[in-house]
């Protein structure tokens, strides 16, 4: 049986993929660096237990290496180094320190212990750090070069055989094998990252599609409402027209009847004309009766928004808007928290446009929030206003970016289809302001992204 477990990611967003790789690499690099820095007391204890004659010298070497490692970490943060450059120098310094100590350990039983410790350290590094496997190979080559260089300076003839017999062979084998593990881990995590990016991209498209569906539904409802108004107006106009027309035909009929009553004074040709006109008038009366029940709808080119305001409770509409985005939030691993006041939150607004505003706000909160964020939605009556708040507890968009997104609509008409479909938060803000409400927002690292809609309350 043939199983092909290769998946094609030809259309993956390369920018998002590289950013996700960088985030993962930086996270694992920080884990390794801080673990190494905090492990200094353990290595000092190892030196004291296994090599008491030289443990002070070893401790000085380790302290120097620790200081250099810490300087690399702090300097790289100030200079905004990439994580590969930082972890490369950091690991390189520590591997060189460990290799030097393994090379200068006096011949004896302690050599095996130090080689085993170095082998374990190399194994842990290559199974923890997320970097291209070539870096693992470079690290091993540097370590081997330092060890062989130190042993080459020794005067014993059997120095290399002693190194192999006392743990060097085990170290070379384990460190080489760890390079294969690093390659396997890097390939698996790259594939997992690709899948995550594809899933996030699919979720974003799902949110966009959901918003477009809501926009289309809104436009259909608004069009139906306008057609209903046109229909009622047309019906009234046609009723008046048909009434006037019927009056006219009745007048013509009366005149014809009067002429027929004096037909003895008319010539045969004149009588034929009168009969023909009477027949045609009867047909017109019949058509008028039929057409009086027909309404012809016409399109409206009026771009002004005509709100049909009514009294209603805003809280159920907020709950419905949150439920509509629940599936999209679940796919992105987000948690939804809905806090609705039990008291009525009455407003005097156009219900159709209010639903559109809430749906647009919720969809854009989901779209511009990172995966695994916590979304909190509140609805309450406060300070004489109906308040709806949406808070995304996660990575902040930033006020500069948020201002650009929200204030993108400056001159464009709110009835423009592209504005409603493509401008998200900007369309939400303009709709709210058109409905005599207020839309406020903020974005801070501590609080996340915050959006608030306020409508005048009827309470």
Give the CATH number for residue 343.
3.30.565.10
Rounded to whole angstroms, the Cα distance separating 220 from 227 reads 10
**Residues 332 and 284 both lie in one domain:** no
**Residues 29 and 173 both lie in one domain:** yes
Helix then strand then coil, in percent of the chain rounded to 5, is 70, 10, 20
Q: What value does the mean pLDDT take over residues 328-352?
A: 86
| Banded pLDDT at 434 (limits 50, 70, 90) | confident
In degrees rounded to 5, what are phi and psi of residue 332? -90, 5
Residue 414, in any domain of the structure: yes
Residue 211, in any domain of the structure: no
**Residues 199 and 279 both lie in one domain:** no
**Residues 58 and 159 both lie in one domain:** yes
Q: Residue 147 in 3-state DSSP?
A: helix
CA-atom Rg of the chain in angstroms: 41
Arithmetic mean of pLDDT over the chain: 79
Domain boundary among 187, 204, 221: 204
Determine the pLDDT at residue 300.
40
Whether pLDDT at 329 is above 90: no
**Residues 285 and 185 both lie in one domain:** no
Highest mean pLDDT among 157-161, 187-191, 198-202: 187-191
**Residues 332 and 272 both lie in one domain:** no
452 near 391, Cβ under 8 Å?
no
Whether pLDDT at 296 is above 50: no
The pTM of the full predicted model, rounded to 2 decimals, is 0.52
Q: How far is CA 91 from CA 72, 95, 247, 305, in A?
A: 10, 6, 101, 65
Determine the pLDDT at residue 260.
66
Q: What confidence tens digit (pLDDT) does each residue in 310-324 have? A: 899 999 999 998 888
Residue 222, in any domain of the structure: no
Residue 449, in any domain of the structure: yes
64 near 46, Cβ under 8 Å?
no
Residue with the two structure tokens 């993929």: 17
Rounded to whole angstroms, the Cα distance separating 139 from 162 reads 23
| Banded pLDDT at 419 (limits 50, 70, 90) | very low
Residue 429, in any domain of the structure: yes
**Residues 317 and 249 both lie in one domain:** no
**Residues 251 and 365 both lie in one domain:** no
Cβ-count burial 115-150 (b if 16+ within 10 Å, e if not): bebbbebbbebbeebbbebebbebbbeebbebbeeb
Residue 281, in any domain of the structure: yes
Taking the chain, what is the end-to-end CA distance rounded to the nearest angstrom? Answer: 71
Q: What confidence tens digit (pLDDT) does each residue in 3-43 have? A: 444 444 446 667 777 777 888 888 888 888 998 889 888 88
Q: What confidence tens digit (pLDDT) does each residue in 171-187 have? A: 899 988 988 888 888 88
**Residues 274 and 199 both lie in one domain:** no
Dihedral of alpha carbons 297, 299, 304, 305, sign: positive
Q: What confidence tens digit (pLDDT) does each residue in 46-94 have? A: 888 888 888 888 889 989 999 999 999 999 888 888 888 999 899 999 9
Rounded to whole angstroms, the Cα distance separating 309 from 321 reads 20
Find residue 252's DSSP bridge partners.
none
Residue 138, in any domain of the structure: yes
Among 230-244, 343-357, 395-409, where is mean pLDDT lowest?
A: 230-244
Whether pLDDT at 118 is above 80: yes
Number of domains in the chain: 3
The rounded percent of the chain whose pLDDT value lies above 70 is 76
**Residues 21 and 145 both lie in one domain:** yes
Whether pLDDT at 299 is above 50: no
Determine the pLDDT at residue 303.
45
Residue 261, in any domain of the structure: yes
What residues make up the domain containing 397? Answer: 309-456
**Residues 259 and 335 both lie in one domain:** no
Non-local (6+) Cβ contacts of 418 within 8 A are 412
| Chain centroid to CA 177 | 40
**Residues 161 and 49 both lie in one domain:** yes
Determine the pLDDT at residue 64.
92
């Amino acid at each position: 049986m043939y199983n092909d477990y290769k998946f094609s990611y030809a259309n993956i967003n390369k920018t998002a993929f590289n950013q996700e790789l960088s985030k993962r690499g930086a996270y694992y690099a920080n884990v390794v660096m801080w673990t190494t820095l905090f492990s200094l007391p353990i290595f000092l204890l190892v030196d004291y237990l296994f090599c008491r004659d030289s443990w002070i010298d070893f401790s000085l070497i380790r302290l120097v290496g620790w200081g250099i490692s810490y300087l690399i970490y702090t300097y790289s943060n100030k200079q905004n180094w990439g994580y590969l450059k930082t972890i490369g120098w950091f690991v390189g310094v520590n591997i060189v320190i460990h290799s030097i100590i393994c090379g200068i350990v006096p011949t004896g039983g302690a050599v095996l212990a130090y080689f085993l410790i170095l082998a374990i350290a190399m194994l842990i590094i290559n199974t923890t750090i997320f970097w291209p496997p070539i870096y693992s190979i470079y690290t091993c080559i540097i370590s081997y070069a330092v060890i062989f260089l130190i042993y080459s300076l020794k005067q014993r003839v059997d120095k290399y055989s002693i190194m192999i017999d006392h743990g060097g062979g085990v170290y070379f084998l384990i460190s080489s094998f760890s390079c294969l593990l690093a390659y396997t881990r890097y390939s698996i995590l790259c594939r997992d990252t690709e899948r995550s990016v594809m899933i996030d991209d699919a979720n974003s498209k799902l949110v966009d599609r959901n918003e477009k569906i809501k926009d289309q539904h809104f436009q259909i409802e608004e069009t139906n409402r306008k057609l209903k108004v046109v229909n009622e107006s047309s019906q009234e106009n046609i009723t008046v027209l048909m009434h006037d027309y019927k009056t006219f035909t009745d007048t013509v009929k009366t005149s014809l009847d009067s002429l027929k009553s004096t037909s003895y004074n008319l010539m045969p040709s004149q009588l034929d004309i009168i009969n023909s006109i009477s027949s045609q008038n009867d047909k017109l009366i019949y058509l008028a009766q039929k057409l009086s029940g027909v309404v012809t709808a016409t399109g409206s080119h009026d771009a002004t928004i005509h709100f049909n305001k009514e009294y209603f409770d805003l809280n159920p509409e907020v709950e419905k808007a949150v439920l509509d985005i629940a599936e999209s939030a679940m796919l992105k691993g987000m948690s939804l928290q809905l806090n609705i006041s039990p008291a009525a939150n009455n407003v005097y607004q156009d219900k159709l446009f209010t639903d559109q505003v809430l749906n647009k706000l919720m969809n854009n909160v989901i779209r511009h929030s990172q995966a695994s964020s916590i979304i909190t939605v509140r609805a309450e009556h406060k300070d004489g206003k109906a308040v709806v708040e949406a808070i995304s507890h996660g990575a902040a968009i930033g006020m500069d970016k948020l201002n650009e997104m929200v204030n993108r609509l400056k001159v464009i008409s709110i009835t423009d289809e592209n504005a409603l479909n493509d401008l998200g938060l900007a369309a939400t803000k303009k709709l709210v302001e058109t409905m005599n409400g207020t839309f406020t927002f903020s974005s801070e690292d501590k609080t996340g992204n915050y959006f608030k809609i306020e409508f005048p309350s009827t309470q």
